[in-house]
Amino acid sequence: MNVVNSLNFQSIASSSIVAIALTLAFATAGESVEAAAKPRLILQITVDQLRGDLPQRYLDRLGKGGFRYLLEKGAVYANAHHRHANTETIVGHVTLATGADPSVHGMIGNVWLDRASGELTYNVEDARYPILGKGAGIDKKAEIDPTQRAARSDGRSPSAMLVSTFGDELTLNQGGKAKVFGISVKDRGAISMAGHTGKAFWFSKTAGGFVTSSFYYDEYPNWVNEWNARKPADKYAGKSWRLLHDQSAYLFGANDDRPYETALPGYGRTFPHPFGQPGDKYFTTLLTISPAGDELTLDFAKALIRNEGLGRDATPDYLAISFSSTDYVGHVFGPSSLESEDNILRLDRTLAELFRFIDAEVGLAKTLIVLSSDHGGAEAPGYLTELGFEAEYIEPKTFDKTGAIKRLKQRFGIGKELITTYFHPYLYLNRKVIAENGLDLAEVERAVAADLTRFDGIALAVSSSALGSGGLPDTPLIQSILRNYNPYRSGDVYVVFEPNHFINDFDGLTVAASHGSPWRYDTYVPIIFAGFGVSAQRITRLVHTVDIAPTLSIVVGAKPPSGSSGTLLGEIIRAN
């Protein structure tokens, strides 16, 4: 297979050329792609906000069947990163699913401003396809996720994704016979991975069960109705999230009550964290800010695998599971907290149970597993400050009122608001008043960007006109921003905060920690393959999350996703 390694797929843009080249490579090696054995099941696990160092951090207390199985039996890419600048949930998930950069797949942020309507757009919202079932939509009064509250409709679909996913290519390759599913607590975590041709289910905090939209089904399968009828969330009624071990056994055992942690009403900052009762306003929300969210996801996944018959025949099936609790816990308590530590240890048990179930139902030897994350996560500024770092919060809402922007408005003769809003990571200008004053939008963008770059806490501000016209310095930071730039969805100015500078006010909710930057603490994620033909090894060269989808495509003999630009991971290709 040396000829496979000799091909530089990074520079090949056309998916068809990649497929032809690889077919020739296999033919040279004396075997055909079609004749090669294929896994019965591809299991893609995405752990939301799992920074690359976290699985190893608690290795001494991990069990045998979860993370340890992956780390000891799998191909561990120890230097894996997202290569785009905006490390948010939808951006990372779609990158993992498509092998494309956000500039190509179009999901440049959790939300963006629709220029035609002037409305804020939530990434997977689609009014044409309402959620099935009454009372299963979003209760904005009880929702703490600001991106969910931004949605104007309860309808959901993958229509905003501009290119195909690995799951889509598997469907096409297998003549529609492959079963393709995505599940998650978050709608965007399920829909992104299921792609355009798969089926997606996500947890409704309003209904307390897993739901889908009319894009996928006219009515729920019987097994889903039966699962929801059991009301699995209610088993947590009157219970609390308690520590798995004695508190003295934890690395952060002495850090249970930190002033910078978010004290949610009734949940508190210290163990145990009570969930309350099913009728309480935040009952299901609190379940997701704990290991219970992942446990519910596992239970639903097991029901799906069994009832949909995944991995039962020679046709490869695909299941993407996105575990979301690590992200919610990280935001509320920070990644270096007792809560995050206990959550990782409990997630380890959840993964071990998932792998045991897969082994019994399908066989791990017949299953190709890949685990990664949509993004990493920064340490809580309060924790950094305790250790002697300088860490500060930034309030973009104040930008328009600063002296520099006021002087800029005087220069252009603007008496109204120039900066209308900030939706991370983009600043949006008042295009109406710019047009009314006969000003050149590109000139105003560049002037605002130049002034913002002088602000304390801002490392770089780049106008969209500059990103679109070229001529910018060829630096890693600029390249990561360009990979996030889509002229139809990006805002007017891309803003990069200095390392350890954050926004902590999300529509009134103060969070302990955040993510969304191009800095290494946010781009660093695990990439681990295990199972079907994969040898235990540790690889330290730099790889990227865009490499996963085209690699999976080649393993099953499908063409790479339409927008993919990653490099094939030779260790996985050789193993299969």
Q: Are residues 285 and 423 in the same domain?
A: no
Residues 71 and 184 in one domain: yes
What's residue 508's pLDDT? Answer: 54
Query: 285 with 159, same domain?
Result: yes
Same domain, 282 and 359: yes
Are 312 and 378 in the same domain? yes
512 falls within a domain: no
- Same domain for 225 and 367, yes or no, is yes
Is the same domain home to 133 and 199?
Answer: yes
What residue numbers bound the domain in which 467 lies? 392-499
Domain identity same for 414 and 522: no
CATH code for the domain in which residue 348 is found:
3.40.720.10
Residue 23 falls within a domain, yes or no? no
Query: One digit per residue, pLDDT tens: the chain, 576 residues?
Result: 332 333 333 333 344 444 434 433 433 333 333 335 899 999 999 999 999 999 999 999 999 999 999 999 999 999 999 999 999 999 999 999 999 999 999 999 999 988 777 788 999 999 999 999 987 766 655 555 656 556 678 899 999 999 999 999 999 999 999 999 999 999 999 999 999 999 999 999 999 999 999 999 999 999 999 999 999 999 999 999 999 999 999 999 999 999 999 999 999 999 999 999 999 999 999 999 999 999 999 999 999 999 999 999 999 999 999 999 999 999 999 999 999 999 999 999 999 999 999 999 999 999 999 999 999 999 999 999 999 999 998 989 899 989 999 999 999 999 989 999 999 999 999 999 999 999 999 999 999 999 999 999 999 999 999 999 988 999 999 999 999 999 999 999 999 999 999 987 654 567 899 999 999 999 999 999 999 999 999 999 999 999 999 999 999 999 999 999 999 999 999 877
**Predicted pLDDT of residue 126:** 96
Distance CA 135, CA 206 (A): 7
Query: CB of 427 within 8 A of CB of 399?
Result: yes
Distance in angstroms (rounded) separating the CA atoms of residues 347 and 325: 9
Domain boundary among 499, 528, 544: 499
Check whether residue 219 and residue 329 sit in a common domain.
yes
Task: Name the residue type at position 320.
Answer: A
Domain final residue, candidates 499, 533, 552: 499
Task: Show which of 445, 464, 499 is a domain's final residue.
Answer: 499
Whether residue 309 is found in the same domain as residue 454: no
Other CB atoms within 10 Å distance of the CB of residue 340: 26
- Give the pLDDT confidence score for residue 5 in this predicted structure: 32
Asked if residue 529 is part of any domain, the answer here is yes
Q: What is the largest CA-CA distance in the chain?
A: 73
DSSP class of residue 323?
E
Give the count of beta carbons closer than 10 Å to the beta carbon of residue 243: 18
List all residues 6 or more positions away from 319 whose beta carbon is below 8 Å from its beta carbon.
41, 42, 43, 44, 181, 182, 183, 301, 304, 305, 310
59 and 90 together in one domain = yes
Evaluate whether 153 touches 214 at the Cβ level (below 8 Å): no
pLDDT at 146: 58
Domain identity same for 42 and 178: yes
Total domains, the chain: 2
Is 18 a domain residue? no
* CATH number, residue 441: 3.30.1360.150
Question: Residue 6: what pLDDT?
Answer: 30
Beta-ladder partners of 530: 369
Beta strands in 105-162, from DSSP E residues, in sequence order = 111-114, 119-122
